[in-house]
Amino acid sequence: MDQKKNRTSWLEAGLSALASDGPDGLRITAIAQRLGVTKGSFYWHFKNLEEYQSALLEEWAQGHTQDAIACVEGMGGDAASKLRKWFIGSVAADFTLARAIRSWSLNNQHACAIQARVDQRRIDYLDKLLRDAGWKKDQATTLGHWAYWAWVGYSTLDGPRVTEQQVDLILSVLQPR
């Protein structure tokens, strides 16, 4: 096995540490121990902790937003089926990491900027899907914001999972009449 691990290993371990321990879990020594390597391995891939944290945020943004959008788009279908896929995937997600990053963004300007960019990208995608479904631009924007804000609220709670029937109801409300 590679004694240095690779950059991806460090990013995965960092996101896992962030999800389980919050930003305080982003300690080079602790993550090196998780990976079974020395701290020197870290510096092979990252200049410092700040660069590592930035890379973690970008990795999260890519995987949990851009890649998710690409996945939905890649499955094809009309706007309604894409909205369904987006909502089903969104409510089925593990929110632990999302909560940790949103919490981190309250006290860290860089995390806040990335969180804001991710939020806006997701809202823009919902807006696009809603316009494609037949809503006027201003209506799609309002509905996209409200749908996303509802999801953010849902993601912070430890309540029951949304069922497919509930997703059907939510989507029926988002269909233009």
Distance, CA of 129 to CA of 123 (rounded, Å): 10
For 1-46, CATH number?
Answer: 1.10.10
Please determine, for residue 1, whether its predicted confidence score (pLDDT) is greater than 50.
Answer: no
What is the mean pLDDT of the segment spanning 159-173?
Answer: 91
Please tell me the predicted confidence (pLDDT) of residue 94: 87
Cα-Cα-Cα-Cα dihedral of 122, 115, 90, 20, to 10°?
170
CA–CA separation, 78 vs 65, rounded Å? 20
Q: Mean pLDDT throughout 135-157? A: 95
Is pTM beyond 0.85? Reply is yes
Nearest-5° Cα angle at 87, 83 to 89:
120
pLDDT at 4: 56
- CB distance 126 to 147 below 8 Å: yes
